[in-house]
A and B are shown apart, each in its own frame.
Chain A
Amino acid sequence: NAGVTQTPKFRVLKTGQSMTLLCAQDMNHEYMYWYRQDPGMGLRLIHYSVGEGTTAKGEVPDGYNVSRLKKQNFLLGLESAAPSQTSVYFCASKPGDGNQPQHFGDGTRLSIL
């Protein structure tokens, strides 16, 4: 049972380049999230989705876009990467509304030079 799978695991970009991070879950979860983790700051919400075809902004959405064309996939895009976006990105999912915990992927470590 794979759970939440993130690709790639590592990536180095130059300033101004674009890329897409992929999150896939095989648990039929409705809700999916993208967080970024920076030293000493815990995880912060970038964007989230509560179902196929729906997305919404979190606390730190600037510079990112997302799409949820299929229920199992949640894509995070950087249109023009900036050094401030150097971070570790985590995807998470949960079954739906309520008190269920979120399940996390192993993260994507992204460096912007």
Chain B
Amino acid sequence: AQSVTQLGSHVSVSEGALVLLRCNYSSSVPPYLFWYVQYPNQGLQLLLKYTSAATLVKGINGFEAEFKKSETSFHLTKPSAHMSDAAEYFCAVSDHYPGRRALTFGSGTRLQVQP
């Protein structure tokens, strides 16, 4: 069975500081990995996805993530935080069952950006 672990349920950074949100996964096969962002009272919006074409994946709003197979990690980073980045972030792995492809989510990390 697949699983996703997000270290740190809450992360607080200053505006302009580096954002680092951690995600570790377990999967018996090469994973399909995603990062989603959820703003208050909204649904989940795709930030980026790992497609195996490149280990460094660039997403929207200046976010990127690096896939490291040896560490089973897919950490999300942004060089300079903006107030509008305050939200909850979810890492997810897709299962490999043909005819299902459901997502298993981490428990989420709430990002707070201080002025």
Contacts and interface: CB of A to CB of B under 8 A. Distances in A.
B99 A58 contact: no
Which of B32, B103, B104 has the most chain A CB atoms inside 10 A of its CB? B103
Interface stretch (B13-21, B38-46, B68-76, B78-86): B38-46
Q: Which bucket holds chain B's interface residue count?
A: 20 to 34
A43 B103 contact: yes
Contacts of A92: 44, 103
B51 A107 contact: no
A105 B41 CA distance: 11
B27 interface: no
Nearest to A9: B41
Which of A35, A42, A103 has the most chain B CB atoms inside 10 A of its CB? A42
Which of B42, B44, B46 has the most chain A CB atoms inside 10 A of its CB? B44
Given A48-B100, A50-B99, A94-B101, A42 B43 contact: no
B94 A99 contact: yes
Nearest to A54: B99
Interface of A: 4, 31, 33, 35, 40-45, 48, 50, 56, 58, 90, 92, 94, 97-99, 101-107
